Chain A
Amino acid sequence: MPLSTDLLAALDLLALRSIESECFEVLGTPPAWAAPFLRSLPDAGRLSRAWLCDTFPFLESFLCDAAQLWSGPAPGRIESVSFAVPWPGGDDLLLVASALRLPTDCLLLIDGNQAHLHEQLRLLQHARDAHLVHQRLQRDVLKRDILFHSIVHDLTSQLSAMRGVFQLLQGSLPTSGAVPPELPGLLAAGLRAATKQEALIADILDVFRSETGSDGAPLDEATSCDLGACIDETVKLLSPSASWRRVTLRVQRADTASRGPTIRAESRRVERVLSNLIENALRYASRGSEITVTLGQRDGMAVVFVDDDGPGVPRELGAQLFEKFARARSGGGKTGLGLYFCRLTITRWGGQIGYEPRQPRGARFWFSLPTV
């Protein structure tokens, strides 16, 4: 039984068979959407390539691809993207063209199924809208971050003024005479609180700079520093706080060299990484114990271990230890940004950072960095 000549029209397909060069014949009954266009044809059953390209200018480029397929030896099919053409008195009409190479025929099909094409359009619109909302949110978050960090930054100036006042007062206490007995202790406590607060703020600002890349990274070739010297410097800075907690800070070098190794990093930030790790250790080390900072080599990298004898990190925290706000061990006035900052910094410089429990108890934090 021959196929109904209405089948193609029912499918909204305008089917054209390529006959001799530059000429097509319409197969079956044309679909309703095509009628207004075909009306301008002198012979409704036949049309030229020129007429097609004039009516649907998009086909100009598609027919080049189609010609290649039709002149080739193998059967096949290619499809265009959709294209819009003005529709008399209404929305644009969406069309898609395909070229078919059958064993006997070369066909051009123009599909005008509006329901199907508008569904595709609707999905694309959703995706675009969502993408725009996402970009807008990202921008707003960044703006808020900047505002938040300017505020935090502004807090530091008053804080350093306070610390200065405490230091001055401490220095000008008379050694004898009428000093209330609790005053030196109170001043020391005030000074400690101000110093701690400054360190918290430094953490927040460090993380912000690392996250937004406003820390001057990437490093240029010339930036390098002496890792050993960074350790000595940091240990010196933290020894008052260690002795106050009755903890000994010991530096241990795998080799006997008193200098080096040289690493490609910025000393100020290496020292902040070190002080983050050592301060953590100090917080958990038991009174009278020792914290060892060991400098060594591993697979051609410089490695630093910070070992304490504290309770170690609960197993369930392991995986997220170096994430933002991971509340390293039990909280207590920390931002939860310290280890996150360490990871951002070390990995940015091509190094690694990690944690391992020690036996029988204690924590070992380590990081490695490429040497120059």
Chain B
Amino acid sequence: MMQKKVCMLGTFSVGKTSLVSRYVRSIFSERYLTTIGVKIDKKVVATARGEATLLIWDIYGDDEFQAVRASFLQGASGYFLVADGTRRSSLARLPALKSLMEDTVGKVPCRILLNKVDLHADWELGTVEEQALAELGPVIKTSAKTGQGVEEAFVQLTTHMLGG
């Protein structure tokens, strides 16, 4: 079966690990355990265009002290840029991450995950920010807590990677 490498990119605490845990293991924890380095999970996805084994690279939060290295992105067939709707600052480095990705592997399928949609009361983004996100790529609103949009996001990206 075809193997496809997918990277989770975004600053710290946006929910990269939680989205993977929700998708791969159907679990969610409120507790924040930061990711040091890289963790790779596997999952078989069935799409209308066939099956693929995803190698999901959950990478540490990118910030000004610890930027993501280009070598992690090599060989990726697709990626997610993850933003946290309750923290406007989580959008800041996404354009740079997108450029790094494109410089390393070229233009490959991408989805923008606007995560934590379950937290309405703390939502910090307005239409301006949501439009800025949409300029980076197709946006999917997700919640690792409720599961909203998560399956859909992985299936959409995989379909796109399989040539859809």
A contact residues vs B (CB 8 Å cutoff)? 57-58, 60-62, 64-65, 80-85, 92, 94, 96, 117, 120-121, 124-125, 128-129, 131-132, 135, 139
Contact = CB atoms under 8 A, between A and B. Distances in A.
8 contacts: A57-B55, A60-B75, A61-B74, A81-B69, A92-B39, A121-B36, A128-B12, A132-B13
A61 B34 contact: no
Contact of A128 (B32, B42, B55): B32
Contacts of B32: 128-129, 132
Contacts, number: 58
A64 B13 contact: no
A84 B34 contact: no
B10 interface: no
A211 to B, nearest CB: 17
B34 A83 contact: no
A304 B11 CA distance: 47
B84 to A, nearest CB: 10
Contacts of B87: 135
Given A129-B32, A131-B12, A132-B13, A64 B39 contact: no
Contacts of A94: 36-37
B80 interface: no
Contacts of B69: 81
A81 B39 contact: no
Interface centre among A61, A84, A132, A135 (most CB of B within 10 A): A61
B37 A64 contact: no
Interface in B22-42: 32-40, 42
Interface string B49-90: 000000100001100000001011011000000000001010
Contacts of B55: 57
A220 to B, nearest CB: 19
B91 to A, nearest CB: 13
A61 B74 CA distance: 7
Contacts of A125: 33-34
Contacts of B75: 60-61
B12 A117 contact: no
Given A61-B71, A117-B36, A128-B34, 17 more contacts: A57-B40, A60-B75, A61-B72, A61-B74, A61-B75, A64-B71, A64-B74, A80-B37, A82-B36, A83-B40, A84-B37, A92-B39, A124-B60, A125-B33, A131-B12, A132-B32, A135-B89
B74 A124 contact: no
A82 B69 CA distance: 13
A144 B124 CA distance: 15
Given A61-B71, A61-B74, A65-B71, A128 B40 contact: no
B13 A128 contact: yes
B37 A81 contact: yes
Given A83-B39, A131-B12, A124 B71 contact: no
A77 to B, nearest CB: 16
Contacts of A135: 87, 89
B37 A83 contact: yes
Contacts of B89: 135
Contacts of A121: 34, 36
Nearest to B3: A57
Nearest to B41: A86
Nearest to A118: B36
Nearest to B12: A128
Nearest to B35: A84
A149 to B, nearest CB: 19
Contacts of A80: 37
A81 B38 contact: yes
A96 B37 CA distance: 9
